[in-house]
Amino acid sequence: MESNAIANLTNLINEDFENAIECVLNSKGRLVVTGIGKSANIAAKIVATFNSTGTPSIFMHAADAIHGDLGIIQKDDVVICISKSGNTPEIKVLVPLIKNSKNKIIAITGNADSFLGKNADFTLNSYVEKEACPNNLAPTTSTTAQLVLGDALAVCLLELRGFSSTDFAKYHPGGALGKRLYLRVSDLIKDNQLPKVTEDSTIAEVIVEMTEKRLGVTAVLSEDNNISGIITDGDIRRMLTAQSDISKLAARDIMGKNPKLISSDAMAIEALETLENNNISQILVTNSNKDYVGVVHLHDLIKEGIF
């Protein structure tokens, strides 16, 4: 029932939707979103979405507004009023007060002919035929429709503002989501040690280096200090399985040539994709001069909550 109601919203979209978006986009103030009851809960969520996508917004409860909180609305603010019926007592008191202050009103209502619908500057019709509640009483389908319209407004404004993933990261610096957007490989390796051996290093030296640096891998460097190979724990195990005498072997004999590399400036999520696509647990890191500067281990990504 809710799915059908959402699908029907496309039939209710008219020029007021576009005009409402232009109004918010060109506003010099904030977006104030208000409602009563369950619509107030939807308003609070819509505010959170607007704020996280570049449209400064604030929530105002309709009941509190007519008892002192009306001062939230400033001169250039645009107000979104959300109400299924559009005729609740609080809305009937609130709307004239907002209009007296010359603020533009965008209505999200299931009744375009209601008091709210007729007095708003722009009316977005969120009509639903019936609530999903068996008694057709509890706001269910109607609040879902309101939420969808709010998201549609936010996404349109996001696109018009040219809001990028970099901008998004600025508003979401915490948690795994933010880290996926701003954390770089250089951030992952700053506390890691730098395991390295030369092509002539003995197997014993290789094992000691890998054991001490505790990353399950070591880079193999050439005489001119360039990366020529990589040795992993798996390479050591395969060597011990295949060779009975390892005393004459050197790093160059067991190293993997042409190892996967990643730049220290790359995003951490790129490192994860490289590890997954190549079914490996570590990758060597180079700087802008192609110098070997570290190792990213799968555990680093897990620790940061990216994996």
9 and 141 in a single domain? The answer is yes
Angstrom distance (rounded) from CA 25 to CA 156: 10
151 and 195 in a single domain? The answer is no
139 and 18 in a single domain? The answer is yes
Last residue of a domain, one of 130, 163, 196: 163
Last residue of a domain, one of 163, 194, 226: 163
Spell out the per-residue pLDDT of the chain, length 307, in tens: 999 999 999 999 999 999 999 999 999 999 999 999 999 999 999 999 999 999 999 999 999 999 999 999 999 999 999 999 999 999 999 999 999 999 999 999 999 999 999 999 999 999 999 999 999 989 999 999 999 999 999 999 999 999 887 777 677 666 666 677 778 999 999 999 999 999 999 999 999 999 999 999 999 999 999 999 999 999 999 999 988 888 889 999 999 998 999 999 999 989 999 999 999 999 999 999 999 999 999 999 988 887 7
159 and 198 in a single domain? The answer is no
Answer whether residue 195 is part of any domain: yes
Q: What is the pLDDT of residue 245?
A: 85
Domain that holds residue 70: 2-163
Answer whether residue 175 is part of any domain: no
Answer whether residue 179 is part of any domain: no
Q: What is the CATH number of the domain that holds 298?
A: 3.10.580.10
Q: What is the pLDDT of residue 213?
A: 94
134 and 222 in a single domain? The answer is no
Helix, strand, coil % over all residues of the chain, rounded to 5: 45, 20, 35
146 and 202 in a single domain? The answer is no
Q: What is the pLDDT of residue 119?
A: 97
Q: What is the CATH number of the domain that holds 12?
A: 3.40.50.10490
Would you say the pTM of this structure is higher than 0.95?
Answer: no
* Residue from 256, 266, 68 nearest 186 by CA: 266
Q: What is the pLDDT of residue 305?
A: 83
* Residue from 174, 185, 154, 173 nearest 54 by CA: 154
Which residue type is seen at 98? I
8 and 151 in a single domain? The answer is yes
9 and 145 in a single domain? The answer is yes
281 and 190 in a single domain? The answer is yes
Answer whether residue 243 is part of any domain: yes
293 and 204 in a single domain? The answer is yes
39 and 129 in a single domain? The answer is yes
Q: What is the pLDDT of residue 262?
A: 96
Angstrom distance (rounded) from CA 292 to CA 290: 7
**How many domains does the chain contain in total?**
2
Answer whether residue 290 is part of any domain: yes
Answer whether residue 178 is part of any domain: no
145 and 256 in a single domain? The answer is no
Question: Which residues lie below 8 Å from residue 52, measured CB to CB, with a gap of 6+?
Answer: 168, 171, 172
Answer whether residue 177 is part of any domain: no
* Residue from 213, 259, 207 nearest 233 by CA: 207
Angstrom distance (rounded) from CA 149 to CA 229: 55
Answer whether residue 95 is part of any domain: yes
